[in-house]
C-alpha cells in the first residue's frame, strides 16, 4: 500500500540515521557523559520513530520509542548511561538495522517472535527504570489499574494483560541480576547478536550537495560549448572519420547533459503533496471545510526552484484558507456549498512553469484595499480613483499591508505577500492576482524554466546571430515580404491560415535599417498569442548554454540572455515576450494615428461593385442591388406595346436602355447583350449593357462635382477609366414614375427623416429612394452634424443613421440621442453595410429600433414605415 518512492526515501534516511548513530555510540563508549552525543542520538532516534510511525511500522516504532525514551532520560539526567543501558541501546540499534534491512527487501516488517520478545524486554526494562525512580508506588499502581475498568474496551482482557505484564515484570526484576549468569539465556542472546550484526545495509542512494550538482551542470555546459565548436570545425574539414567520431561525441555529450539535468529535476508533486496535511490542519483550526485539488503534480522543475517556492506556496495556501474561504455558515448563506475549494495547479506554458493557487472564497475587495492604501498614505484619494484594478491589487504586495481586521495566528500580520513577491522575483518569476469579489481569487505564479542548456534556433539580422529558445518557436515560413505582408498603417501583418499575425522585423526592432533579404518569417508564441519575426537568415537549431546578461543589458526587454557560439563568438538570446510587447505597442500607435487620419478621410466601408460598359461608357453599380445577371440574344428583345421587353423565364420583363435617360451614346447593335436584372416588390426590370467588365471590392467614395445630373451619383477613376456610378432608382423612376409608388392611404403631412450618412454615394441613393417613397429627408454628413441639427430644433419622425462615420460614428450618435429625453422615442433605424450579429446586438443595446442593410431598398422602406406606424400608434395610445 505504501508508495515505493516514499518508502525508498524513508529507507535512505533511516540508513543514514543508523550509520550516524553507530558512530555516535562508539563516541559515547569513549565518553559516557558527553551530553551533546546523547542529544544528537535522541534527535535521530526521535525522527526515526516519527517516520516509522507514519508508515505504520509498529515494531520499528516501538523499538525506536523505547530507545528514545531511555536516551531522553539520560539527557534529562534521570538516568545514568551505565554499561547496561548502553548495551540495551546498542541492541535496539541492531534490531532497527535488522528491520530496516528486512523492509528494504520485503517492503514489510518482519513478523518475528524474536522482535516481539525484544519489545517486551524493552518494555520491562523501561518499566524497571521507572520503578527505580518510584519504587514505592508500584503496588498502588496495580490497584489503580483495577480501579478504572469502565472506560476500557476489553476490560477483562486488558486487566488480565496488565496483571500478566506486572507479574512478568516482577519476575524479571528478580531474574535480571541472574540473567547474565544463566547459560541458556546467554546463548540466546549471542545468537541474536550474531543474527543482527551480520546485516550490512547496502546503499542505494547517496547524498550529494547541490553545489556539486551545480558544478557538474556548469561543466556540462562548457562541454556542450566545446562540442559545438568541434562540430563546426569538423563540418569545415569534412573528414569522414572525424565526422563520425564527432557525431558520437555529440551524442554522448547530449546524453550526459540530459542526465545531469535529470539529477536536478523533480516533480512539483514533492511540494504539493505536503499540502493535504497543512490544509487539513488549518481548516480544522479555523473551523472551515476545504476540499483540495492538486493538478499537474507531474510538472517538473529544477530542484532549487522547488525548494525556493515551498515557503511562498505555503503562505499563499494559508492566505487562501484564512482570508479567502469563508466559514461554512457564511458560504451556505451566499449560496455556495459549505466546503470551500482550493486548487493547486502547475503546468508549462510558453517555456515557463505556471503555478496557480485558486480558491472559491470571498475574493478580494478592491474598495477595501483602496481605502486601506489611502489610509496608509500610499496613495492619495484622487490618485486611487484613477488606478486600475490591477494596480490596486498590487498594493497587497507592499510590505506591512494587511486588510485583515484582526491578526490571527495564521495570517494578517502584514508580513508575507511582500516576502512572497520578493522570493518569486528572486527566481526570475512573476506573480499576478485575479479576483472576483464573492467568487474567489486566483494567484498565478510564473516561474521561468531557467535551464542552463536549452535548444535554440539561430537566426541572423544584418550578419549578427541571435538565438530564439525553441520552446517558443511555432513554425517557420518563407515569404516574399512585399507580396505576402499585409499592411495597416506602418504595421505589418501576415495571414497564416486565416489567423492574422502581427509581424516584427528583427532589423527594425534592433533599430537598424530593414534588411535586404528579409524573407524568413519565424512564427513565435508567447503562450497567449502568435507573432511573426522577420529575419534575414535561419541557421541550425543548436543547443546553447544560457549565460546571464550583465546588469547593463538587464533592462532591455528584447534579450533574455547571451550564449557563446561554436566559433567562440557571442550571440544574444531573444526574449519572445519582450519582442511581442514591441509588436503590441506598435499596432496600438498605428491605430491611434489611423484614428486621427480618419477624421479627415471618409470611413472605409467597402462594397462589391459591378463594373460594366454601355457602349463607350463605363458604369458601376453595387452588386447587391442586382438580382440577376444574364445574357440574351438580340432576337429575344422585342418591342411590345411601345415598350422594349425581353421574355425571360416565361416572364415579360421591361428593358431599360440607359441612353434614353443619360447623355451617352448607348449600346451599339450586338448579337448578344448583357442584362442586369432588378427586382423590387415582385416587379422586375432589366438594364441593357454591352459588356460586364469586372467586379471589385472597394469603398464607395465618389466625386460628385463633375456629373451633376439625375441618374448619376458621381464618378471615380478605376484602372485609368472614368467610371460613372449609377443611381439606379432614379433611372427606373425616370423610366416609369409609377414604378415605386406604393399607394398610401390617408396621406397627411409627409414624414421627416433625418439621415446621417457620410458617403455621398449613399446619401444620394438613400435620399432618392426615400423621397420617392414620399418622405422628406434632412441630410447630415456625420453623427455630430445630425446631433447639432436635432439640438437646433429639428423634429424628425425617424432617424436613419449609418454606423461608420467620421467625427462621430453611429454608435456614439445613437448613444447621444438616447441620452436626451425629448428624443428618446424617435425611432432610430441603423442603416449599414456592416453585417454581423454582434454589431446588430450592440446597436440594439444602445437603443436603436431597427437594423437594415443599406442596399435593400424594399426592406428599408417597409421597416421605416413600420417604425413610423408603431410610433403613431403609441402616440395615439398615450393621448388616449
Annotated catalytic residues are 46, 68, 319
Q: Is 488 in the site for other proteins (CB under 8 A)?
A: yes
**At closest approach, how far in Å is the CB of 74 from other proteins?**
29
Which residue of 155, 226, 570, 820 would you call a contact of other proteins, by CB under 8 A? Answer: 155
Task: Using the minimum distance from each CB to other proteins, give the nearer residue, 457 or 855.
Answer: 855
**Residues 6 or more apart from 12 whose CB is under 8 A from it?**
204, 205
| Residues 815-874 contacting other proteins, CB under 8 A | 834, 836, 838-839, 842
Residue from 595, 745, 746, 748 that binds other proteins (CB under 8 A)? 595
Helices 113-133, 155-179: crossing angle, 10 deg rounding: 80
| Given 175, 188, 205, 495, the residue binding other proteins (CB under 8 A) | 495
The reply to whether 609 sits near other proteins by the rule CB under 8 A is: no
Q: Which is nearer to other proteins, 513 or 591 (CB)?
A: 591
- Interface of this chain with other proteins, residues 392 to 451, rule: CB under 8 A: 434, 436, 439-440, 442
Closest separation between CB of residue 333 and other proteins, Å?
18
Stretch that binds other proteins, among 19-27, 49-57, 729-737, 773-781 (CB under 8 A): 49-57
The reply on whether position 702 binds other proteins by CB under 8 A is: no
Residues 243-272 that bind other proteins (CB under 8 A): 269
Nearer to other proteins, 442 or 690 (CB): 442
- 250/577 Cα distance (integer angstroms): 31
Residue 791 near other proteins by CB under 8 A: no
DSSP 838-851: HHHHHHHHHT-SEE
For residues 114 to 153, the per-residue mask of contacts with other proteins, x marking binding by CB under 8 A and - elsewhere, is -----------------------------------xxx-x
Dist. CA 415–CA 419, nearest whole Å: 7
Calculate the alpha carbon distances from 259 to 252, 726, 866 in Å: 10, 77, 78
Question: How many C-beta atoms lie closer than 10 Å to residue 774's C-beta?
Answer: 15
Stretch that binds other proteins, among 125-133, 273-281, 373-381, 538-546 (CB under 8 A): 273-281
CB atoms closer than 10 angstroms to residue 186: 12
Residue 557 in contact with other proteins, rule: CB under 8 A: no
Stretch that binds other proteins, among 252-260, 402-410, 509-517, 586-594 (CB under 8 A): 586-594
Considering the complex, state which of residue 153 and residue 877 has its C-beta at the smaller distance from other proteins. 153
Provide the H-helix boundaries in 526-673.
Answer: 576-600
At 49, list the grid cell. 520513530
Helices 760-772, 857-879: axis angle to 10 degrees equals: 60
The continuous run of DSSP H or E covering 39 comes out as helix 35-55
- Min dist CB 382 to other proteins, Å, is 22
Contacts of 2 (CB under 8 A, 6+ apart): 55, 107
Q: Which of the residues 278 through 297 are near other proteins (CB under 8 A)? A: 279-280, 283, 289-297
> In angstroms, rounded to a whole number, what is the distance separating the alpha carbons of residues 132 and 129?
5
Residue from 161, 499, 703, 874 binding other proteins (CB under 8 A): 499
Q: How far is the CB of 595 from other proteins (least distance, A)?
A: 7
3-state secondary structure of 675: strand
Cα(878)–Cα(880) distance, integer angstroms: 5
Least distance between other proteins and beta carbon 854 (Å): 16
Contact between 594 and other proteins per CB under 8 A: yes
Position 480 contacts other proteins (CB under 8 A):
no
- Name the nearest CA neighbour of 167 among 129, 147, 130, 138: 138
C-alpha cell at 781: 454628413
In the complex with other proteins, which residue's Cβ is closer, 196 or 441? 441
For position 608 contacting other proteins by CB under 8 A, the verdict is no
Among 106, 386, 406, 483, binds other proteins (CB under 8 A): 483
Question: Are the C-beta atoms of residues 167 and 138 closer than 8 Å to each other?
Answer: no
Q: Distance between CA 524 and CA 504 in Å, rounded?
A: 11
108 binds other proteins (CB under 8 A): no
Helix axes of 4-30 and 35-55: crossing angle, nearest 10 degrees: 160
Identify whether the C-beta of residue 796 lies closer than 8 Å to the C-beta of residue 752: yes
CB neighbour list of residue 178: distance below 8 Å, 6 or more residues apart: none
Percent of residues in the chain assigned helix, strand, coil, to nearest 5: 45, 25, 30
Site size with other proteins, rule: CB under 8 A: 67
Residue closer to other proteins (CB basis): 6 or 237:
6
- Can residue 154 be called a binding residue for other proteins (CB under 8 A)? yes
Q: How far is the CB of 238 from other proteins (least distance, A)?
A: 45
Contact call for residue 161 and other proteins (CB under 8 A): no
Q: Would you give the end-to-end CA distance of the chain in angstroms? A: 85
CB of 71 to other proteins, least distance (A): 24
Q: Is 273 in the site for other proteins (CB under 8 A)?
A: yes
Q: Which of 133, 243, 276, 413 binds other proteins (CB under 8 A)?
A: 276
Report how far residue 754's alpha carbon sits from residue 766's, in angstroms, rounded to the nearest whole number: 11
| Alpha-carbon dihedral sign for residues 431, 432, 438, 439 | negative
Query: Hey, which residues between 322 and 361 contact other proteins (CB under 8 A)?
Result: 339, 358, 360
| Local structure of 591: helix, strand or coil | helix
Task: Determine contact, residues 504/532, Cβ cutoff 8 Å.
Answer: yes
Q: Which residue in the set 6, 199, 226, 820 belongs to the binding site for other proteins (CB under 8 A)? A: 6
Q: Which three cell numbers stand for residue 278?
A: 497543512
* Shortest distance, position 635 Cβ to other proteins, whole Å: 41
Residues in contact with other proteins by the rule CB under 8 A: 1-3, 6, 53-56, 149-151, 153-156, 269, 273, 276, 279-280, 283, 289-298, 339, 358, 360, 434, 436, 439-440, 442, 482-483, 485-488, 493, 495, 498-500, 587-588, 591, 594-595, 604, 606, 697-699, 804, 811, 834, 836, 838-839, 842
Amino acid at each position: 500500500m505504501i508508495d515505493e518512492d516514499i518508502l525508498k526515501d524513508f529507507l535512505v534516511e533511516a540508513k543514514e540515521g543508523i550509520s550516524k548513530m553507530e558512530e555516535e555510540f562508539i563516541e559515547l563508549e569513549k565518553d559516557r557523559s558527553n551530553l551533546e552525543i546523547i542529544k544528537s542520538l535522541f534527535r535521530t532516534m526521535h525522527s526515526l520513530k516519527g517516520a516509522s510511525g507514519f508508515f505504520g511500522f509498529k515494531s520499528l516504532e516501538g523499538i525506536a520509542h523505547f530507545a528514545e525514551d531511555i536516551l531522553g532520560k539520560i539527557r534529562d539526567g534521570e538516568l545514568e548511561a551505565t554499561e547496561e543501558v548502553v548495551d540495551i541501546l546498542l541492541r535496539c540499534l541492531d534490531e532497527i538495522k535488522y528491520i530496516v534491512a528486512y523492509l528494504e527487501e520485503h517492503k514489510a516488517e518482519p513478523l518475528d517472535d524474536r522482535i516481539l520478545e525484544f519489545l517486551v524486554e524493552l518494555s520491562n526494562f523501561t518499566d524497571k527504570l521507572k520503578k527505580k525512580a518510584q519504587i514505592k508506588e508500584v503496588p498502588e499502581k496495580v490497584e489503580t489499574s483495577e480501579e478504572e475498568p469502565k472506560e476500557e474496551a476489553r476490560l477483562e482482557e486488558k486487566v488480565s494483560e496488565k496483571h500478566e505484564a506486572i507479574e512478568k515484570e516482577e519476575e524479571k526484576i528478580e531474574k535480571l541480576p541472574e540473567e547474565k549468569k544463566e547459560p541458556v539465556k546467554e546463548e540466546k542472546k549471542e545468537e541474536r547478536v550474531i543474527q543482527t550484526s551480520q546485516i550490512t545495509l547496502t546503499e542505494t542512494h547517496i547524498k550529494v550537495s547541490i553545489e556539486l550538482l551545480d558544478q557538474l551542470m556548469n561543466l556540462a555546459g562548457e562541454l556542450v560549448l566545446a562540442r559545438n565548436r568541434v562540430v563546426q570545425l569538423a563540418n569545415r574539414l569534412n573528414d569522414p572519420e572525424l565526422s563520425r567520431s564527432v557525431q558520437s561525441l555529440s551524442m554522448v555529450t547530449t546524453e550526459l547533459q540530459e542526465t545531469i539535468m535529470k539529477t536536478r529535476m523533480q516533480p512539483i508533486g514533492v511540494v504539493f503533496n505536503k499540502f493535504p496535511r497543512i490544509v487539513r490542519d488549518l481548516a480544522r483550526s479555523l473551523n472551515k471545510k476545504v476540499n483540495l485539488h492538486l493538478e499537474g503534480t507531474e510538472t517538473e522543475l529544477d530542484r532549487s526552484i522547488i525548494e525556493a517556492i515551498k515557503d511562498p506556496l505555503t503562505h499563499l495556501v494559508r492566505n487562501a484558507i484564512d482570508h479567502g474561504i469563508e466559514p461554512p455558515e457564511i458560504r451556505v448563506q451566499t449560496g455556495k456549498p459549505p466546503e470551500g475549494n482550493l486548487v493547486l495547479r502547475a503546468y508549462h506554458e510558453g517555456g515557463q512553469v505556471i503555478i496557480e493557487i485558486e480558491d472559491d472564497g470571498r475574493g478580494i475587495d478592491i474598495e477595501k484595499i483602496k481605502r486601506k492604501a489611502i489610509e496608509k498614505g500610499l496613495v492619495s484619494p484622487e490618485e486611487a480613483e484613477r488606478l486600475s484594478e490591477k494596480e490596486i491589487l498590487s498594493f497587497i504586495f507592499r510590505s506591512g499591508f494587511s486588510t485583515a481586521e484582526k491578526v490571527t495566528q495564521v495570517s494578517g500580520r502584514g508580513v508575507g505577500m511582500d516576502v512572497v513577491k520578493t522570493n518569486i522575483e528572486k527566481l526570475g518569476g512573476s506573480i499576478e492576482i485575479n479576483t472576483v469579489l464573492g467568487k474567489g481569487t486566483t494567484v498565478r505564479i510564473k516561474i521561468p524554466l531557467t535551464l542552463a542548456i536549452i535548444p535554440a534556433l539561430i537566426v541572423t539580422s544584418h550578419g549578427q546571430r541571435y538565438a530564439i529558445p525553441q520552446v517558443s518557436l511555432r513554425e517557420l515560413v518563407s515569404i516574399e515580404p512585399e507580396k505576402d505582408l499585409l499592411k495597416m498603417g506602418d504595421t505589418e501583418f501576415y495571414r497564416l491560415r486565416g489567423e492574422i499575425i502581427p509581424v516584427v522585423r528583427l532589423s527594425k526592432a534592433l533599430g537598424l535599417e530593414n534588411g535586404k533579404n528579409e524573407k524568413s518569417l519565424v512564427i513565435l508564441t508567447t503562450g497567449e498569442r502568435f507573432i511573426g519575426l522577420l529575419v534575414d537568415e535561419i541557421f541550425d537549431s543548436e543547443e546553447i548554454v544560457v549565460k546571464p546578461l550583465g546588469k547593463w543589458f538587464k533592462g532591455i526587454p528584447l534579450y533574455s540572455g547571451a550564449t557563446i557560439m561554436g566559433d567562440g563568438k557571442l550571440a544574444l538570446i531573444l526574449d519572445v515576450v519582450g519582442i511581442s510587447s514591441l509588436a503590441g505597442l506598435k499596432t496600438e500607435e498605428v491605430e491611434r494615428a489611423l484614428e486621427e487620419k480618419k477624421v479627415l478621410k471618409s470611413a472605409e466601408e467597402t462594397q462589391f461593385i459591378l463594373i460594366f460598359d454601355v457602349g463607350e461608357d463605363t458604369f458601376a453599380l453595387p452588386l447587391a442591388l442586382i438580382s440577376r445577371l444574364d445574357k440574351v440574344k438580340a432576337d429575344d428583345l422585342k418591342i411590345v406595346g411601345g415598350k422594349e421587353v425581353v421574355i425571360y423565364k416565361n416572364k415579360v420583363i421591361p428593358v431599360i436602355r440607359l441612353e434614353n435617360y443619360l447623355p451617352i451614346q448607348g449600346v451599339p447593335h450586338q448579337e448578344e447583350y448583357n442584362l442586369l436584372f432588378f427586382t423590387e416588390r415582385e416587379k422586375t426590370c432589366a438594364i441593357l449593357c454591352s459588356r460586364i467588365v469586372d467586379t471589385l471590392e472597394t469603398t464607395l467614395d465618389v466625386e460628385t462635382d463633375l456629373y451633376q445630373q439625375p441618374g448619376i451619383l458621381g464618378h471615380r477613376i478605376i484602372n485609368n477609366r472614368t467610371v460613372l456610378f449609377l443611381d439606379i432608382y432614379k433611372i427606373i423612376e425616370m423610366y416609369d414614375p409609377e414604378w415605386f409608388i406604393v399607394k398610401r392611404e390617408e396621406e397627411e403631412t409627409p414624414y421627416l427623416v433625418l439621415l446621417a450618412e457620410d458617403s455621398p454615394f449613399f446619401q444620394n441613393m438613400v435620399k432618392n429612394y426615400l423621397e420617392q417613397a414620399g418622405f422628406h429627408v434632412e441630410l447630415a454628413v456625420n453623427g455630430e452634424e445630425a446631433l447639432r441639427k436635432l439640438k437646433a430644433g429639428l423634429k424628425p419622425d425617424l432617424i436613419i443613421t449609418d454606423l461608420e462615420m467620421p467625427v462621430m460614428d453611429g454608435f456614439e450618435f445613437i448613444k447621444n440621442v438616447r441620452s436626451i429625453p425629448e428624443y428618446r422615442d424617435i425611432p432610430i433605424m441603423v442603416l449599414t453595410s456592416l453585417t454581423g450579429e454582434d454589431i446588430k446586438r450592440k446597436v440594439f443595446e444602445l437603443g436603436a429600433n431597427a437594423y437594415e442593410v443599406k442596399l435593400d431598398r424594399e426592406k428599408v422602406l417597409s421597416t421605416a414605415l413600420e417604425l413610423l406606424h408603431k410610433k403613431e400608434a403609441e402616440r395615439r395610445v398615450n393621448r388616449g
